[in-house]
Structure 1
Amino acid sequence: MEEVQGILKRADAVCFDVDSTVIQEEGIDELAKFCNKGKQVSEITARAMTGNMTFQDALNLRLNIINPSLNQVKEFISTKPPTLTPGIRKLVEVLHNRKVLVFLVSGGFTSLIEPIAKQLNIPSEKIYANRLKFYFTGEYAGFDENEPTSKSGGKGVVIDLIKNKYNCKNIVMIGDGATDLEACPPADAFIGYGGNVIRPTVQAKAKWFVHNFKELIDVLQE
């Protein structure tokens, strides 16, 4: 734990997972509920989060069930804003004040994450997530399979990209799921977050597992 805390204090970049970490909900599950496909999709999410199927398979399966139109996505964003996790706004502010680069690295969708990033003063170029595709009629046309975050191991690929692009020496990944845990390495440290949901496999393997962002703020302000 002390080793991870030391890396956090020295970090020049921190990458946050979004669903069940930065926000209290799982974005894809909420979109599914909005499209009346909630139950089928949340079962697949639970399996994907414990690492029992590849992320790309889980994403594909869920999106084919939801089959969201462009209008549905726009309506969902405007009528069902996500709930920021308590403490995240303050933590990001503390990191920004320390001149630490903050990224949102998510298996969710850029269109759903941009309003969250805006609330946290994180520029859109620091979002690494998946892109939904639509036909000109507005019907669902799949997702961009070239995005690293659409595949298992994708968050690690993103962290390598960030290291090279921004010349970062110490990157910390913070999240609740198996895809976050497996991003370390190349991340220099991983902090498991259990304030919204606890994944037992992640809790067991994380060197530092927290239930409240105040624990991180306290370490940074020592």
Structure 2
Amino acid sequence: MEGSMSLQINPIKAYYRQEKSGFVSAFAPRVSGRVSWKSIGMIRNPKPVNSVFASIQPIEVSKKNSFANALPSKEVLDIWQNASAVCFDVDSTVCVDEGIDELAEFCGAGKAVAEWTARAMSGSVPFEEALAARLSLFNPSLSQVQDFLEKRPPRLSPGIEELVNTLKGRKTDVYLISGGFRQMINPVASILGIPSENIYANQLLFGSSGEFMGFDKNEPTSRSGGKAAAVRQIRKDRAYKSLVMIGDGATDLEARQPGGADLYICYGGVQLRESVAAKADWLVFDLNDLINSLE
């Protein structure tokens, strides 16, 4: 999610895989005004989803060893291995990209949005204001978003599909919680087999002619503290005995609070935010470490 220092990602010449399933419909029916299902991005005849599995350069051993929490305690392992539910951030965690920056670049405003993102992520601007300001720089139309989804398949972090499948095999519920947009997260959820009701994300809104109309401000993740609120709501609604949050940014760390996540695992394999990583219960640079700990 929000970013400062990042590790270099190798050029994507990984393999492509054609999935049989189409886009997942994950649109919250809380839209007001003259907006139709079609106008917010419902695709009548969804095409199969392509996914790209990225390769990431290993982090230096010295960097790993500089964090005391790179090795989990017995208590942390116990919570992880017995979690009833696991919530994943999407940008720079499940996927190697920052969704809004990628969409902006595709629409020709990548540099301007990236510069604004760098200023906004200092924490001095409320999330909802930062989101609105960045979108206003390029005002993506419905056709642009659909074209982006067709030409830019999700780039998944190495090991994420196996990790999700391992969790599901253990009867652990999996959620995606993101400050990004459902239109861009739906293909990711489809690849990973995560149901629409387990997605908490923002929603781009479009008018009857496909023109950009903003975003749904009723979504909890459209506001500062939104991820923490979503996790608390999930915990309350499903009465989970234990819940884990996995992500890379400060908004993910916020979910680790009373009534929210019991454990925060920081994934530093794409973006390493040292101030966040230092406060995590467990810092991992390779998702295979999480998989192996469950076997």
Tell me by how many angstroms 1:50 deviates. 4.8
Contact map agreement 1:24 1:84 (CA 8 A) in 2? yes
Give the corresponding residue for 1:220. 294
Measured after TM superposition, the shift of residue 28 of structure 1 is 0.5
Q: Deviations over 1:95-120 (max 9, x none)?
A: 00000000000000001001000100
Could you state the TM-score of these two structures normalised by the residue count of structure 2?
Answer: 0.73
Q: Secondary structure at the match of 1:205?
A: coil
Per the normalisation by structure 1, the TM-score is 0.96
1:6-64, CA deviations, whole angstroms, 9 ceiling, x for partnerless residues? 21111000000000100010010000000111011112333444534221111111111
C-alpha distance 49-193 of structure 1, shift in aligned 2 (>3 A) = farther
Indicate which of 222, 233, 242 corresponds to 1:170: 242
Say if 2:164 is the partner of 1:62.
Answer: no
Task: Could you tell me which runs of 5 or more consecutive residues in structure 2 were left unpaired when the two chains were aligned.
Answer: 1-71
Q: Report which of the two structures shows the higher radius of gyration computed on alpha carbons.
A: 2
What corresponds to 2:94 in structure 1?
22
> 1:183 — aligned with what?
255
Contact 1:49 1:179 in 2 (8 A): no
Q: Structure 1: any 5+ residue segments left out of the alignment?
A: none
Query: Which of these residues, 274, 279, 284, is aligned with residue 200 of structure 1?
Result: 274
* Aligned 8 A contact 1:191 1:208 in 2: yes
Alpha-carbon spacing, 1:38–1:183, altered in 2? closer, same or farther (3 Å): same
Match of 2:183 among 111, 116, 140: 111
Q: More helix per residue: 1 or 2?
A: 1
Query: Matches of 2:120 and 2:267 in 1, distance apart?
Result: 17
User: In the superposition, relative to structure 1, how do residues 37 and 203 fare at CA in structure 2: closer, same or farther (>3 Å)?
Assistant: same
Could you tell me whether the CA contact under 8 Å between 1:29 and 1:42 is conserved in 2?
yes
Corresponding residue of 2:165: 93
Distance 1:99 1:48, change over 3 A: farther
Q: Taking structure 1 as reference, are residues 192 and 52 closer, same or farther at Cα in structure 2, changes over 3 Å only?
A: farther
Moved over 2 A (4+): 43-53
Distance 1:45 1:170 in 2: 34
Tell me how far apart the structure 2 counterparts of residues 172 and 73 of structure 1 sit (CA, whole Å): 32
For 1:175, give the aligned amino acid. Answer: G
Give distance in 2, aligned partners of 1:152 and 1:115. 25
TM-align CA RMSD: 1.2
Q: How many residues align?
A: 221
1:213 alignment partner AA: L
